[in-house]
C-alpha cells in the first residue's frame, strides 16, 4: 500500500490526500469552502498545509512533484481563480504527464466554474492568462503548456457545482475521493484468485452483514487462506466506512506500540512527529473512534495483548464498525470478549467449496489456464490430490511445474512422495514451531499414528506419555492444526506429511533414531537389523505383504517404547524384551505361548492380541488398573480369562471366537466400568457367573455360545444395558430379573429353540416391564399356539418384531395395541392362517412363504398405512426369475407414488421380496 495516494488540487492551494506512505501538502489561500478539509478529515483522510515548507515566490518543491508521481489518483478542484496560481498550473502539467505515462486516474471538480471557461480559457481564466503572458513573455511555451493542460482536464468527465447545496456537494466530493482511492488501492487482484468468491461471499453474508444493522461486530477468521480472504473482504467493503486499517502480519511485530502507531496513523489520529505509548494510544482510539464507523483488520494475531491494546472491545468504536481478526489460534478469539462463537468463520480448503476449484487453481498455475490437456490429466490429479485443497500448496506445486515436460512432472511426483516440497513445508511449519513441547509431541503422534482416530481413544493412550492430550488437543484445534469431526480427530494431509518430515529430517537414513515409525518397510528394517534406539517412542505397523522373522532382541534397545502395533511376524528364537512403558500393545497373531519374563506392563491402556497363541494371560498381567480394552478375539488356545480383580478400569472385554474358552472368572463382577462384553461364538462356554450387576454395561453379545444354557440373574444396577444378544445359544429361559433392564432397547433370542416351546414365552411374561424395548427378535424359536402372551401392550416402544420361522397358526390381537410398531416379520411361518389387525403406523409386514394364510388368497396385497408408507404382504413362494425380484431395500420407505408405479408396471416383482 505504500506510496499509493490521491492528489487534490484546490483553488490557490494544493491538497494531497493519502492512505499511507506519502506526505500530503497544501497551500494556504482558500477559496473553496474549508468544510471540504473537515469533511475529508471526518472520512479519515488527512490534509496537510505546505505553506510552512514552501515560501512565496519559490518554485515547487521536489517533494511535491515526487508526491504527484507516487499518487494513483489526482482530484483537481477547479475554482474561479485556479489559473492565477502558477503552482497549480505547474502541478496540473505534471498530473497530465502522469495520466498519459502511467494511467493516473484524474477526477476534475468544477467548483462554481463553467467547464467551458476552463476549456477555452475565458472569464477569470482569460484574465489570469493575460497576466501570465506578460509575466512570462520570454517563455510563452510554458504558458501554452498550461493552456493545453487545462483543455485536457476540462475534457475529462468530472463533477460540477453551480447552484446546489454546498454541503451535499462536499459530501459527494469526499465520497468520490474515497471511492476513487478505494478502487485504486487494490490489495489483491480478486479476479485472479480462483474460488475466492465462495469464502468471501459466505463471510460477507453470514458474518459481516454490513448492510443489516448498526451493531459493532468482531469477526474471527481461522483456517486455510484466511489472510487472502481478509484482504479481499477489506478491498470489497472499505468504502462503506469512515476510516479503515489493515495491519498485516501482526505476529511478526514484537513491539505492540509500533502496531498501535501504525493503526493510529491509518485512522488519521497521529502525525508523523508524535510518538505515543500504548496507554495514550488506547485512550485516543476510545475517545476519537467511538463515534466513527471503522473497518480494522488485524492479520495473524497470536497474543491476547495485541487484541486488548489495538481494538479493545465493542465500546471503542462507532455504530456499524467491523473488526476482523485472523489467527491460527481459535482459542485466542474465544477468550476475547468482543468475539462471539457464531462470529468465528473457518476458511475451508478449495475442494470443500467446490470439487473442481482445486484442479482449476493448480492448472492455472501450471498451464496458465484453468484446465489441462489429456496428456497431463493423470499427473494433475495426483498433484491436486496431494494438495488436498490447500491454495498455497496448489500454487507452489503448479508454478514449479510451469512449462516443464511430462518426464519432469513424473520425476517431481516421485520426489514429492518421498520428500515434501520445501516451500510448502516451510510455510506450514510456522504453526508447528510456535507450539509448546507437549503440543508438538501430540501433533507428531496424531500425524504418525492417530489421524482419523477417536478423540477419547487418543486421550486414553497418550495420557502420561509426556503430553497432556486433553488440553493439548484443544490447543491444536484452536490453532487450526487439527479438526474434530463427530468423535474423531482429523489432520489435513499436508500437515500430516509435514509431521512425517519433521520426524524423519534429522536422521533420514537411520529410522532407528526416529521417534516414531509408521511405515512397514522402515519398521521391518529396524527390527530385522536390530537398529532400534532409545529414541523410538512408537511403532505402528500396517500388515506387511509377507511374513517376516525377527530375532529375540528386536525390541531390547527401545526402553521408551510407549506404543506398539505389529503383525505378521514370527519369533523363532522367542522374545527377550518388551518395554514396561507400553500404553498400547497391539500384536496380531502373536506367535508365542508366553511373554518375556520381565515384562510387567502396568501402564497398559489397550491390550489387543487377536489370534494369539496364549492359553491364558501371564501372571505379570495381574494388576492392570489402567487397562481399558482387552481384546483376545479368535485366540483358539485361550481356555480361561484372567482374574479381573486388578482390572478396575476395563471398559471393553472382547473374547469373540475363542472357541476353547470354557470359564469366565467370577471376578468379572468387579468390572463396574465395563461397557462392552463380547463373547460371541465361544462355543465351549457353558456358564457365566451367577449374577451380572455391572452399572456401566451397555452391550452384551453372547451370540453363538451354543453350550450356554442359562443367562445369569440381572442385578438392579443394570439400568444402562441397551443391547442383549442371546441368539443361537442354548438358553432355556430368561430370568425374571430381566425386568431390571429398564434401558434395554434390543433383545435378540433368535434360534433359541425349546423342547417345550411355551417355556420361553412363559419366562417372558415380564416383557411388559421392558417399556424401552425397540427391537425384539424371536425368530426360529419353535413357538406354537398359546406360547405368545395375549397381552403385549406393555411393549409400548416396540418398533420391530421378528417372529419368522415359528409354528403358530395365529397371532394375538393385542399386536394392534403396539402403537409404534413399524416392521413385522413373519417369513416362513408356514402354519400361519390368519393375520391380526395391524397398528395404523405399520410400514412393512413381511410374510413370505406363509402358504396357509387364509385372508391373502394367493395374490399380493398392498395396504396403505397411516401417512408413512405401505404394508406389503407376500403369501406366495419365491419367483424364479431373478430380474423380476425386488429387494427389501428398494421398497423400504419408498414414497407412495413410486410403490404404486412398481405395482402397476410389474406386480410380479413384489412376489419375491428379498
Active site residues: 91
Residues paired with residue 297 on neighbouring β-strands, in sequence order: 246, 324
**Cα–Cα–Cα angle for 667, 668, 673, nearest 5°?**
125
Contact, 705 vs 731, CB < 8 A? Answer: no
Picking from 825, 830, 819, 761, the residue whose alpha carbon sits closest to that of residue 794 is 819
Torsion 189-195-197-203 (CA) sign: negative
Helices of type H across 446-481: 455-462, 469-478
**From the DSSP assignment, how many helices (H) and strands (E) are in the chain?**
27, 33
Distances (CA, A) of 609 to 446, 536, 601, 614, 723: 22, 22, 14, 9, 25
Residues paired with residue 725 on neighbouring β-strands, in sequence order: 701, 748
- In 10 A of CB 220, how many CB atoms? 26
Distances (CA, A) of 387 to 222, 224, 412: 19, 12, 14
Distances (CA, A) of 618 to 23, 623, 641: 83, 11, 11
Distances (CA, A) of 345 to 221, 232, 603: 5, 15, 41
Contact, 705 vs 685, CB < 8 A? Answer: yes
Task: Match 486421550 to its residue by C-alpha cell.
Answer: 459
Distances (CA, A) of 101 to 11, 97, 615: 25, 6, 91
> How far is the first Cα of the chain from the last one, in angstroms, to the nearest whole number?
70
667-676, long-range: CB < 8 A, 24+ apart: 667/643, 668/641, 668/644, 668/692, 669/693, 669/694, 670/644, 670/645, 671/644, 671/647, 672/648, 672/696, 673/648, 673/649, 674/650, 675/651, 675/699, 676/651, 676/652, 676/701
Q: Per the structure block, which three cell numbers stand in for 52? A: 510552512
Picking from 742, 745, 738, the residue whose alpha carbon sits closest to that of residue 775 is 745
Residues paired with residue 538 on neighbouring β-strands, in sequence order: 516, 563
- In 10 A of CB 585, how many CB atoms? 23
Count how many Cα atoms sit within 13 Å of the Cα of residue 37 in the half-sphere of its side chain.
20
Contact, 8 vs 77, CB < 8 A? Answer: yes
Helices of type H across 750-824: 758-762
Picking from 245, 480, 220, 235, the residue whose alpha carbon sits closest to that of residue 325 is 220
Contact, 511 vs 532, CB < 8 A? Answer: no
Task: Match 478423540 to its residue by C-alpha cell.
Answer: 455
Q: Per the structure block, which three cell numbers stand in for 608? A: 489387543
At what angle are helices 469-478 and 455-462 packed, to 10 degrees? 130
Q: In angstroms, rounded to a whole number, what is the distance separating the alpha carbons of residues 692 and 679?
A: 14
Helices of type H across 572-689: none
Q: In angstroms, rounded to a whole number, what is the distance separating the alpha carbons of residues 157 and 159?
A: 7
Residues paired with residue 8 on neighbouring β-strands, in sequence order: 15, 75
State the maximum Cα–Cα separation within the chain, in Å, rounded to a whole number.
Answer: 133
Q: In angstroms, rounded to a whole number, what is the distance separating the alpha carbons of residues 615 and 641?
A: 9
Residues paired with residue 824 on neighbouring β-strands, in sequence order: 801, 845
Amino acid at each position: 500500500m505504500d506510496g499509493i495516494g490521491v492528489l487534490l488540487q484546490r483553488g490557490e492551494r494544493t491538497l494531497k490526500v493519502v492512505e499511507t506512505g506519502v506526505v500530503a501538502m497544501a497551500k494556504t489561500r482558500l477559496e473553496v469552502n474549508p468544510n471540504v478539509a473537515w469533511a475529508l478529515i471526518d472520512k479519515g483522510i488527512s490534509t496537510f498545509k505546505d505553506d510552512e515548507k514552501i515560501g512565496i515566490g519559490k518554485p515547487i518543491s521536489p517533494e511535491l512533484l515526487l508526491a504527484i508521481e507516487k499518487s494513483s489518483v489526482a482530484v483537481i478542484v477547479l475554482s474561479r481563480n485556479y489559473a492565477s496560481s502558477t503552482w497549480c498550473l505547474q502541478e496540473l502539467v505534471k498530473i497530465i504527464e502522469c495520466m498519459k505515462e502511467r494511467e493516473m486516474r484524474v477526477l476534475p471538480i468544477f467548483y462554481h466554474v463553467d467547464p467551458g471557461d476552463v476549456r477555452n480559457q475565458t472569464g477569470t481564466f482569460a484574465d489570469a492568462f493575460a497576466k501570465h503572458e506578460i509575466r512570462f513573455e520570454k517563455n510563452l511555451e510554458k504558458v501554452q503548456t498550461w493552456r493545453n493542460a487545462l483543455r485536457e482536464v476540462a475534457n475529462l468527465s468530472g463533477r460540477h457545482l453551480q447552484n446546489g447545496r454546498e454541503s451535499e456537494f462536499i459530501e459527494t466530493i469526499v465520497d468520490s475521493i474515497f471511492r476513487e482511492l478505494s478502487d485504486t488501492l487494490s490489495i489483491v487482484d480478486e479476479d485472479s484468485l480462483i474460488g475466492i468468491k465462495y469464502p468471501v461471499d459466505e463471510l460477507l453474508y453470514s458474518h459481516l452483514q454490513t448492510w443489516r444493522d448498526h451493531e459493532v461486530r468482531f469477526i474471527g477468521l481461522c483456517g486455510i487462506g484466511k489472510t487472502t480472504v481478509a484482504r479481499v473482504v477489506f478491498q470489497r467493503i472499505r468504502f462503506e466506512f469512515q476510516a479503515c486499517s489493515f495491519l498485516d502480519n501482526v505476529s511478526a511485530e514484537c513491539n505492540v506500540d509500533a502496531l498501535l502507531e501504525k493503526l493510529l496513523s491509518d485512522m488519521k489520529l497521529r502525525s508523523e512527529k508524535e510518538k505515543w505509548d500504548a496507554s495514550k494510544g488506547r485512550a485516543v482510539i476510545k475517545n476519537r473512534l467511538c463515534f466513527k464507523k471503522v473497518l480494522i483488520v488485524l492479520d495473524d494475531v497470536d497474543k491476547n495483548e495485541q487484541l486488548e491494546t489495538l481494538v479493545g472491545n465493542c465500546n471503542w468504536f462507532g455504530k456499524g464498525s467491523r473488526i476482523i481478526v485472523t489467527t491460527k489460534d481459535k482459542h485466542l478469539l474465544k477468550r476475547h470478549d468482543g468475539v462471539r462463537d457464531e462470529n468465528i468463520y473457518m476458511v475451508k480448503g478449495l475442494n470443500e467449496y467446490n470439487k473442481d476449484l482445486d484442479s482449476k487453481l493448480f492448472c492455472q498455475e501450471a498451464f496458465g489456464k484453468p484446465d489441462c490437456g489429456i496428456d497431463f490429466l493423470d499427473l494433475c490429479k495426483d498433484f491436486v490430490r496431494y494438495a488436498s485443497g490447500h491454495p498455497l500448496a496448489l500454487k507452489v506445486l503448479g508454478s514449479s511445474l510451469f512449462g516443464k515436460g511430462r518426464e519432469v512432472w513424473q520425476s517431481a511426483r516421485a520426489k514429492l512422495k518421498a520428500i515434501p516440497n520445501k516451500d510448502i513445508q516451510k510455510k506450514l511449519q510456522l504453526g508447528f514451531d510456535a507450539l509448546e513441547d507437549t503440543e508438538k509431541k501430540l501433533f507428531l503422534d496424531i500425524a504418525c499414528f492417530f489421524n482419523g482416530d477417536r478423540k477419547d481413544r487418543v486421550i486414553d493412550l497418550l495420557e502420561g506419555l509426556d503430553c497432556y492430550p486433553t488440553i493439548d488437543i484443544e490447543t491444536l484445534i484452536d490453532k487450526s492444526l487439527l479438526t474434530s469431526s463427530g468423535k474423531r480427530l482429523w489432520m489435513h494431509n499436508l500437515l500430516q506429511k509435514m509431521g512425517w518430515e519433521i520426524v524423519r529430517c534429522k536422521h533420514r537414513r537411520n529410522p532407528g533414531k526416529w521417534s516414531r515409525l509408521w511405515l512397514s518397510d522402515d519398521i521391518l528394517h529396524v527390527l530385522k537389523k536390530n537398529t532400534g534406539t532409545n529414541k523410538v517412542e512408537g511403532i505402528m505397523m500396517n500388515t506387511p505383504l509377507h511374513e517376516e522373522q525377527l530375532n529375540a532382541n528386536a525390541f531390547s534397545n527401545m526402553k521408551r517404547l510407549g506404543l506398539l502395533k505389529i503383525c505378521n511376524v514370527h519369533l523363532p528364537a522367542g522374545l527377550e524384551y518388551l518395554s514396561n512403558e507400553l500404553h498400547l500393545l497391539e500384536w496380531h497373531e502373536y506367535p508365542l505361548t508366553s511373554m518375556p519374563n520381565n515384562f510387567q506392563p502396568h501402564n497398559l491402556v489397550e491390550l489387543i492380541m487377536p489370534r494369539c497363541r496364549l492359553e491364558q494371560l501371564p501372571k505379570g498381567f495381574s494388576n492392570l488398573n489402567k487397562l481399558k480394552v482387552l481384546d483376545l478375539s479368535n485366540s483358539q488356545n485361550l481356555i480361561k480369562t484372567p482374574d479381573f480383580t486388578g482390572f478396575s478400569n476395563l471398559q471393553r472385554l472382547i473374547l469373540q471366537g475363542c472357541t476353547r474358552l470354557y470359564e469366565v472368572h467370577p471376578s468379572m463382577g468387579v468390572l463396574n466400568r465395563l461397557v462392552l462384553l463380547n463373547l460371541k461364538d465361544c462355543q465351549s462356554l457353558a456358564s457365566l457367573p451367577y449374577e451380572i450387576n455391572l452399572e456401566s454395561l451397555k452391550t452384551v453379545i453372547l451370540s453363538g455360545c451354543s453350550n450356554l444354557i442359562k443367562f445369569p440373574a440381572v442385578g438392579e444396577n443394570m439400568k444402562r444395558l441397551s443391547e442383549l444378544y442371546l441368539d443361537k445359544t442354548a438358553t432355556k429361559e430368561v430370568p425374571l430379573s430381566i425386568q431390571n433392564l429398564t434401558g434395554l432397547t434390543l433383545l435378540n433370542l433368535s434360534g433359541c429353540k425349546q423342547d417345550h416351546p411355551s417355556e420361553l414365552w412363559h419366562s417372558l411374561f415380564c416383557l411388559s416391564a421392558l417399556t424401552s424395548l425397540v427391537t425384539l427378535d424371536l425368530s426360529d424359536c419353535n413357538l406354537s399356539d398359546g406360547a405368545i402372551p395375549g397381552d403385549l401392550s406393555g411393549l409400548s416402544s416396540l418398533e420391530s418384531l421378528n417372529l419368522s420361522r415359528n409354528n403358530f397358526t395365529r397371532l394375538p390381537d393385542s399386536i394392534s395395541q403396539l402403537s409404534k410398531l413399524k416392521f413385522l416379520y413373519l417369513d416362513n411361518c408356514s402354519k400361519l392362517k390368519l393375520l391380526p389387525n395391524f397398528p395404523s403406523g405399520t410400514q412393512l409386514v413381511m410374510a413370505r412363504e406363509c402358504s396357509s394364510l387364509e385372508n391373502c388368497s394367493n395374490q399380493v396385497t398392498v395396504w396403505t398405512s397411516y401417512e408413512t408408507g405401505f404394508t406389503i404382504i407376500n403369501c406366495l413362494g419365491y419367483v424364479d426369475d431373478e430380474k423380476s425380484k425386488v429387494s427389501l431395500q428398494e421398497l423400504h420407505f419408498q414414497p407412495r407414488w413410486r410403490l404404486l408405479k412398481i405395482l402397476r408396471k410389474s406386480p410380479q416383482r413384489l412376489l419375491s421380496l428379498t
